[in-house]
Every structure is written in C-alpha cells, then in structure tokens.
Amino acid sequence: MRVSGVLMVGVLIAAAFVLYLTSRDATESLDAVATVSADLREEGVAGRPLDRTAAQRMITAMEALVAAPDTISGHVDDLKSFTETAAAWAQAAASPSPELKAAVALRSAAGELREYSIHPTPTPLTKARRYLDDARAALAGEGVGEGPGLATDAVRDRLQNLQRSQQEQQQELAEELNR
C-alpha cells in the first residue's frame, strides 16, 4: 500500500509537470501568432477608427445592391469608396477585434459586388450576402469572445484583408478593360 501511494504521488507530479510545460508552450505559440498578426498590415493605407454608424449604412446600402443586382454596375464608385474606407478601418483595428472582423467583411462584400459588376454570376452575390452577415454579426459583438482561437482568427482576417487588396488591384484593371 505504501509503495502504491508513493507511485501515485510520483505520477501526479509528472502529470503536473507535463501540464505546466504544455501550457507554457501554448502561451508562447499564441504570443507568436499575435505578433505575426500585428505585422500583417497593408502598406500605403492610413488607418482610421471604425465608425459603427457608417458601417451600418454601408451594410444597408450593399444589401440594397444585392437585392437589385442590375443596379450594381451604376454604383462601382460607391463600392470603391466602401473598400477604401473599410481598408482604413482594418488598418487601425486591433488584432484580434470585432472591428477588424467587421472591416474585413465589409471590404470583402464590396469587393464581391464589384466582381459581380465585371462578371455577373450568382456566386459573388452569395458571397457578398455572407460577408454582410459576418459584418453585421461582428458589429453586434456576436461570436466574439476570449480564447486561443482569436489569435488565429486575427491572422486569418489580416491575410484576408491583404488578399482583398490584391484582388482590388486586379478588379481595377478588369474594370478599365471593360470600359
């Protein structure tokens, strides 16, 4: 009985040591991810704090365009303005944050609507609806909490923002060619 008690204490000490090392490794990994997400910023964009009222107006305007897709081609300049504004909001947003998620979703929705003006197929409209739902949810604080997933979400949002920037450059060229 005495030997099994000593063995049990030894196992508990070993388990505690393993848990300590695992939590330390996880903390270091999350710190590294947070550092990377802070460095993934778009060059040449001046940041501005997110204006929730303007963001809600953007959502409403883009939902109206999704509902009447034949009017999208007449609002390309508005959509460009939306993408520029959302890019500035994303630049100033903390990583991770609901503001970053909302800004990236708004920029993506505007980009998809611009894509529809170039290639009118149902796919960009579906994607735009999804991004608008994501933006609305982020502005409402839904799905935003604490936890390790947020650090990786910030990296994903920053990468999506950079990818959208590249797609906008390609859209500019395509729009010029279509004129």
> Predicted confidence band at 144 (pLDDT cuts at 50, 70, 90)?
low
Closest CA to 160 of 87, 88, 98: 87
pLDDT digits (tens, 9 = 90+) for 94-135: 888 899 999 999 999 999 999 999 999 999 999 999 999 999
CA triple 35-105-134, angle to 5 deg: 110
pLDDT digits (tens, 9 = 90+) for 151-163: 678 888 888 888 8
109 within 8 A of 61, measured Cβ to Cβ: no
Question: Would you state the pLDDT for residue 47?
Answer: 86
Question: Would you state the pLDDT for residue 88?
Answer: 94
105 within 8 A of 56, measured Cβ to Cβ: no
The neighbour count for residue 144, using CB atoms within 10 Å, is: 15
